[in-house]
Structure 1
């Protein structure tokens, strides 16, 4: 199957190769490579590239060392997410890896923001993004043919970041994941490896609670809702567009929605599509953003629900006329944010009056 892949992906790149569960197991063991036709590349060159990207994005990249990986978001003035990209620099070019549907819009926005900065922006359709688990048998073969490799920073809280999840063992800590940029003329050699489709790669992502632009982002998403401050936001860097909202919600407020993991009842063999309503009783609490059939966890999903949805609420997902029972695992708690210790002022009514003296 090729549905959901970006335009221009090689003919042999697939969402699956016949058995997504088997492919997923092989990918998790590092024994398969995943050609990601749903990912693309934007290259930023020029001597101002890092300082310029630092000034317009959520991440501190001005001192990014060659080969070092990170992640950034581009926000609108109200702090809503517009673009997201993995970032790695080679000393001459900064490579941005984005979901296929965001590659052209991201490149267009960056081009409009150049002004007098000494930078050049280009979409690199000549490169194929190949995902793999480091340390496995497929790693050496993929990396030998790559221009550069981005390592997903989701495995830990990045410098300047913040984690809202309070789980004793964050599943992201076990996410070893890299994406190699392979020239299309060398990609046929990748084809000779054991391959996994994008369905398998996405199932591993969902199990790690890892947000994605094409799934967890809508027209009102802010980073806090998906715990994206963990890897894509530097809270102590200089000013950038949307920073005021990031700071206000983190220090003084709460995100209006929160990301949850749903463990779905698989007895009906129905996997909900993104956008499927999440119900608390008869009230709609939110919607599914991603779903997957995991090789160990079974049917799972990520969903954005209202902050006011109780953490112990019995939830259901409506899919194809069927209500699927869903056990909620909290990722972003309802009290996320409001981290500033604001001193409380003495109430005027409690101040001693002159007549009391």
Structure 2
């Protein structure tokens, strides 16, 4: 298992795909854009571009006990996952807080866990400690494999490059376009994720030069990570590395929609998940913000959200969308007024923000608990 220094090196090593013309490269080593992010958003959403996600991690879990073992640890039902099927799942702490989020696909021999940058090492270490006597093998393969994101269908020219050690291409299809079996949606109707047809594929890093050659020949094209981020925000799609913190509960982000199975067997944190969903309310809620009258300023993560002069939350991610202008996701206090016109403080400027409720203040408390008579009450006759 790699040490922390090698993990950090992986996260910030410059991607070979960042050598493509026009690449603007940030701290993660991948291109945030290759020119015009708005144009790249259109191309990416139309299925005409790929996005380099080679900073992200890949963990391979193999062995005959892998699916049942993972099912016992994680929030989604995995014991029946078939070859080529995709899902997503969460690792919770004993109090139900989200520690890791995983995009999951199985190829019949191996279950592949796709995670955000910097997460693979710590998750691998935790899984190794939990093996006990199970017949499973856990390997961090982030140094060998890179992730590409895309919408729609993968270009045919890339099919020969896709990892398929068991004869099944390792391609993850995002389940965000519908409520998964055993899931629950807090958001109302007209969910923008219903037409979200996003996917990710694993490519051996040894094939990077072939990707560069195809791009140089104009056969494939790339969009930057900023384009994907803008599309994600518009689809209300949560991501742990942006929306999450040490106190994150899946309910707060409407993540019961796809990452939690409410009727499966026991797993760590299940009691809190059930208690909040059935009897309580999540203490915070995710909201979508449309920032009005903004030509230049895109709020940074952590920018404070106000209702009048009262602080009610903070921005988790913001971007300029090719159709909707400046948009953001924000985590608000549960009791923040869902009808209020909000504002965001960014660079000492108050920016008006229209709120769209994702998780409503009354989310949770779904159990029909009978009301008991008050202790000492006496029913009088006559």
TM range (shorter): over 0.9
Partner residue of 1:175?
196
1:104 aligns to what SS in structure 2?
Answer: helix
CA offset at residue 120 of structure 1?
A: 1.2
1:209 aligns with 2:230: no
The one of 177, 186, 192 aligned to 1:155: 177
Partner residue of 1:317?
344
Partner residue of 2:21?
none
1:296 aligns to what SS in structure 2?
Answer: coil
1:297 aligns with 2:324: yes
CA distance in 2, matches of 1:23, 1:208: 17
1:240 aligns with 2:267: yes
Unpaired segments ≥5 residues, structure 2:
1-9, 19-30, 164-169
1:47 aligns with 2:87: no
Change (3 A) 1:206 1:142: farther
Partner residue of 1:111?
128
CA offset at residue 348 of structure 1?
A: 4.0
CA offset at residue 266 of structure 1?
A: 4.1
Unpaired segments ≥5 residues, structure 1:
none
CA distance in 2, matches of 1:273, 1:253: 32
CA offset at residue 280 of structure 1?
A: 1.1
Partner residue of 1:165?
187
Given that 1:53 and 1:61 are in contact with CA atoms closer than 8 Å, whether structure 2 keeps it comes out as: yes
Given that 1:130 and 1:142 are in contact with CA atoms closer than 8 Å, whether structure 2 keeps it comes out as: no
CA offset at residue 187 of structure 1?
A: 2.6
Which has the larger displacement, 112-121 or 204-213? 112-121
CA distance in 1, matches of 2:231, 2:208: 23
CA distance in 2, matches of 1:154, 1:71: 9
Change (3 A) 1:352 1:273: same
CA distance in 1, matches of 2:295, 2:311: 21
Given that 1:47 and 1:119 are in contact with CA atoms closer than 8 Å, whether structure 2 keeps it comes out as: yes
Per-residue CA deviation, residues 112-138 of structure 1 (Å, 9 max, x unaligned), is 111111111111121110001123xx5
Partner residue of 1:131?
149
RMSD: 1.5
Per-residue CA deviation, residues 183-216 of structure 1 (Å, 9 max, x unaligned), is 1111333331211011111111111000001001
CA distance in 2, matches of 1:38, 1:263: 29
CA offset at residue 97 of structure 1?
A: 0.6
1:73 aligns to what SS in structure 2?
Answer: strand
1:142 aligns with 2:158: yes
1:101 aligns to what SS in structure 2?
Answer: coil
Partner residue of 2:252?
225
Given that 1:261 and 1:301 are in contact with CA atoms closer than 8 Å, whether structure 2 keeps it comes out as: yes
CA distance in 2, matches of 1:189, 1:294: 31
CA distance in 2, matches of 1:9, 1:141: 25
TM-score by length of 2: 0.88
Aligned ranges 1:81-96 → 2 under 5 Å: 81-96=98-113
Change (3 A) 1:61 1:100: same
CA offset at residue 350 of structure 1?
A: 4.2
CA distance in 2, matches of 1:9, 1:35: 11
Partner residue of 1:102?
119
CA offset at residue 142 of structure 1?
A: 3.4
CA distance in 1, matches of 2:197, 2:150: 9
Partner residue of 1:187?
208
1:336 aligns to what SS in structure 2?
Answer: coil
2:263 aligns to what SS in structure 1?
Answer: coil
CA distance in 1, matches of 2:337, 2:305: 13
CA distance in 2, matches of 1:141, 1:7: 29
The one of 370, 373, 378 aligned to 1:343: 370
Q: How many residues in Structure 1 have an aligned counterpart in Structure 2?
A: 348
